[in-house]
A and B are shown apart, each in its own frame.
Chain A
Amino acid sequence: AQKVTQAQTEISVVEKEDVTLDCVYETRDTTYYLFWYKQPPSGELVFLIRRNSFDEQNEISGRYSWNFQKSTSSFNFTITASQVVDSAVYFCALKMLQTGANNLFFGTGTRLTVIP
């Protein structure tokens, strides 16, 4: 069975601090994709990044970086020098390619509050 765990329900940081959001996944598939989405207070779901299971290269995009470790089934997300606009709920999601399920499986989300 597949599962995405985001153990941190809520995190608060002071502006300019770095913060890491954890994501641990379970799947029997050897081919899959992992995603991060951001849901700001306005409610929309904004795509941030996609990673496939064969690509363990870490990625950096501005203040955002992602650490994919297949050995520990983790796909963690770090925001450097956090800003108030980063305040949102962040979802990690899994898409399997072998099982046949067509949809995304989401974690329960981490609510990040950046305090000015």
Chain B
Amino acid sequence: AAGVIQSPRHLIKEKRETATLKCYPIPRHDTVYWYQQGPGQDPQFLISFYEKMQSDKGSIPDRFSAQQFSDYHSELNMSSLELGDSALYFCASKRAGVRQETQYFGPGTRLLVL
């Protein structure tokens, strides 16, 4: 079965640079979530989109922005990167509808900021 696709899988950036992470949800899933997992931490919710509109916002820094496109893929844009942004970034998707509450996660993008 098709899974959530994230690219790139690994990314190395310097401080103050920008990064763009991409997420392609499972076909027919219209809701996308972004989570950040620091080393040894649990995943923390950043932001979510439903039908191309932002639906919820968590602890996303102002330096980050995201959007969902007409084909439902999503991009997380990160600017003025800091050392503390080094983390595993997950995208998850789910299908809309009653009882469709399971979020399926992608493999993650591992970002290292030097």
Instruction: Please list the residues of chain A having a beta carbon within 8 angstroms of any beta carbon in chain B.
Output: 33, 35, 37, 42-47, 50, 52, 91, 95, 97, 101-109
CA of A42 to CA of B107, assembled, Å:
9
CA of A45 to CA of B36, assembled, Å:
12
Q: From residue B15, how far is it (CB to closest CB) to chain A in Å?
A: 24
B105 touches A47 (CB 8 A): yes
Q: A-B contact count, CB below 8 Å?
A: 56
Identify the closest chain A residue to B107 (Cβ). Answer: A44
**Given A43-B108, A44-B105, A102-B55 contact (CB < 8 Å):** yes
- Which of A35, A37, A42, A103 has the largest number of chain B CB atoms within 10 A? A103
B45 partner, pick from A42, A43, A50, A103, beta carbons under 8 A: A103
- Which of A45, A50, A91, A97 has the largest number of chain B CB atoms within 10 A? A45
B107 touches A106 (CB 8 A): no
CA of A33 to CA of B42, assembled, Å:
18
**Given A37-B105, A108-B42, A103-B110 contact (CB < 8 Å):** no
